[in-house]
Amino acid sequence: MKTVLITDDVHPLLLSGLENRGFVCDYRPNITLQECRDQVADYYGLVINSKIKADKSFLEQARSLKFIARLGSGLEIIDLATAEAKGILVLSAPEGNCNAVAEHAVGMLLSLLNNLNQADREVRQFQWNREKNRGYELRGKTIGIIGFGHTGEAFAQKLSGFGVQVLAFDRFNTIHTNLKHVKICDLKTIQNQADIISLHVSLNASSVHMINRLFIEQCSKPFILINTARGQAVKIEDLLWGLENGKISGACLDVFENEKPETFTALEKDLYSYLYRMNQVMLSPHVAGWTFESKALIAEVLLKKLDMHKNSL
Number of Cβ within a 10 Å radius of residue 109:
24
Tell me if 3-95+292-312 shares its fold with 137-279.
Answer: yes
CATH says 3-95+292-312 is which class?
Answer: alpha beta
Look at residue 174 in the predicted model and tell me its pLDDT.
84
- 137-279 is classed CATH 1.20.1260.10: no
**Which residues are tagged catalytic?**
230, 259, 286
Residues near 255 by Cβ (< 8 Å), separated by ≥ 6?
A: 227, 228, 229, 230, 231, 286, 288
Domain segments of the chain as ranges:
3-95+292-312, 137-279
Report pLDDT digits (tens) over 32-41.
Answer: 999 999 999 9
CA distance 206 to 109: 26
- What sign does the dihedral 128-133-134-136 (CA atoms) show? negative
What does the pLDDT look like over 79-130, one tens digit per residue?
999 999 999 999 999 999 999 999 999 999 999 999 999 999 999 999 999 9
Instruction: Give the CA distances from residue 311 to residues 66, 254, 307, in Å, rounded to whole numbers and listed in that order.
Output: 12, 39, 8
pLDDT digits (tens, 9 = 90+) for 124-168: 999 999 999 999 999 999 999 999 999 999 999 999 999 999 999
